[in-house]
Amino acid sequence: MTASAEVEPTGVEPTAAGPRQVEPAEDAFREELAFLAAFDSGPRPPGWRLTPRAVVTFVMGSGDVLALPKGVSVDGVPSRLLISPKFVGERALVERAVVTLAGERGLLLVGEPGTAKSMLSELLAAAVSGSSQLVVQGTAGTTEDQLRYGWNYALLLAEGPSPRALVPSPVFNAMRGGGVVRVEEVTRCLPEVQDALVSILSDRRIAVPELSGTDAATVHAAPGFTVIATANLRDRGVSEMSAALKRRFNFEAVGPIGDLAAETALVRRQASAALERVSAPFSVDDVVLEVLVTAFRDLRNGVSEEGWAVERPSTVMSTAEAVSVATSLGLADAYFPGDRDPLSLLPGHLLGVVRKDDPSDAVRLLGYWDGAVRRRAESGARTWRRLWELRDVLDA
């Protein structure tokens, strides 16, 4: 008898372009976007796929099942649909953001890292223009060409400046098509690169002097063009925005989730989705998730739910980091079942998060254990008592 090894199927069906780990918002929620386009036939700003009200519904969810108006039907679109909530935050903030975009003004989302600024910008771009993939990632190495245009140098040398040799930037394509372009981490771009946005947002056109005398010498922004930028408050001072650029944006601050139950539900939803992508069940207990999120909130806010003082670590204890820890707990439980309970792994993961910016912040986490965790354990809370018993993990 000979032994042979067979590769088990992964359960992931490859597409023509290959399997994707994460779908863009316009693909992940294609059915919802098509439904909302048929559901709300109200006035739309020029170039928009949905009405402003429908954009807000797409981002915040409908709450109840919606039904298409009588006599309206679209092939492949259900007549009734519940629109899922995708962003946990103030509805008023989303409404202000949508009004800003409807006025074709630049929108700047600011906040601490991990507050879903990029996700919100992606959702808004997908709902407004049907594509969230026109993106410039701001870094110290981002060049002005990435905001304007570049050249295919092989074609440039072979035939000189021509529309065929021009390499358009995401901003260039958004202007030409009347879409939304996203500029991530704009304050990480050098000031001279940021300055390119000033003229783009003011003049609404990009000149290509190399093509002077041709119809392609200037691209004018089509109706619907606008810019959504994001900036982390932790990056303030990296490349401070000029007063001229600030005036061309409406600022909206995206803060942490205020409600414990809402944040816990979001962490569960996001972690479950991450495990679903690898065909693994998410079986972390709700009590463990609530303890995880509570610890993140205490350390983030500098005060416990009970009002006890907590020394905050240097790193940002964001919801995104909480999702990452919950995902790790779920993966450990799925791939190493029975080895350890997820709660026993929590202190080690918290230590890893806290030490990201400053290893000495491990002392602050110990202080949290000796304060809030101990007091909850002494009050008789069984889960917190077990967590207190795991304190030695932090001394390792």
- Give the whole-angstrom CA distance, residue 101 versus residue 96: 9
Residues 222 and 175: beta-carbon distance below 8 Å: yes
48's tokens: 């928009």
Among candidate residues 230, 253, 276, the one where a domain is terminated: 253
CA angle, 60 as apex, 59 and 66 as ends, to 5°? 95
Same domain, 235 and 323: no
Question: Domains in the chain: how many in total?
Answer: 2
In a domain, 215, yes or no: yes
Neighbours of 183 (CB within 10 A): 26
The answer to whether residue 11 scores a pLDDT higher than 90 is no
C-alpha to C-alpha distances, 306 to 93, 373, 376, nearest whole angstrom? 28, 11, 10
In a domain, 70, yes or no: no
- pLDDT confidence of residue 333: 93
Domain of 189: which CATH number? 3.40.50.300
- Give the whole-angstrom CA distance, residue 262 versus residue 264: 5
- Please give the residue that has the higher pLDDT: either 374 or 17: 374
- pLDDT confidence of residue 395: 82
Domain hosting residue 214, numbered range:
88-253
Same domain, 286 and 238: no
Same domain, 240 and 110: yes
The answer to whether residue 277 scores a pLDDT higher than 70 is yes
Same domain, 240 and 354: no
Same domain, 155 and 242: yes
In a domain, 170, yes or no: yes
In a domain, 109, yes or no: yes
Cα atoms found within 13 Å of the Cα of residue 136, Cβ hemisphere only:
34
142's tokens: 């981002």
Same domain, 287 and 173: no
- Give the whole-angstrom CA distance, residue 316 versus residue 31: 35
Residue 230 identity:
T
Same domain, 243 and 105: yes
The closest alpha carbon to 316, from 15, 114, 92, 146, belongs to 114
Name every residue whose Cβ is closer than 8 Å to that of residue 331 and which is 6 or more positions away in sequence.
275, 278, 280
The answer to whether residue 244 scores a pLDDT higher than 50 is yes
Same domain, 286 and 312: yes
Tens of pLDDT, residues 305-336:
999 999 999 998 999 999 999 999 999 999 99
Same domain, 355 and 291: yes
Least confident of 10-19, 189-198, 234-243, 339-348: 10-19
Among candidate residues 200, 220, 253, the one where a domain is terminated: 253
- pLDDT confidence of residue 239: 83
Same domain, 99 and 243: yes
Neighbours of 218 (CB within 10 A): 14
For the residues 125-129, what does the mean pLDDT come to? 97
Residue 360 identity:
S
pTM score: 0.89
The answer to whether residue 281 scores a pLDDT higher than 90 is yes
In a domain, 239, yes or no: yes
Cβ-in-10-Å burial (0-12, 13-18, 19+) of 210 comes to middle
For the residues 268-276, what does the mean pLDDT come to? 94
Place of tokens 């693994």: 280
Tens of pLDDT, residues 31-52:
999 999 999 999 999 999 999 9
Same domain, 228 and 292: no
Handedness of CA 139, 234, 194, 101 (dihedral sign): positive
Same domain, 351 and 369: yes
**Model confidence at 10, in pLDDT bands (50, 70, 90)?**
very low
- pLDDT confidence of residue 237: 62
C-alpha to C-alpha distances, 357 to 3, 138, 314, 353, 361, nearest whole angstrom? 50, 21, 6, 9, 8
Q: Helix (H, G, I), strand (E, B), or coil: what is residue 8?
A: coil
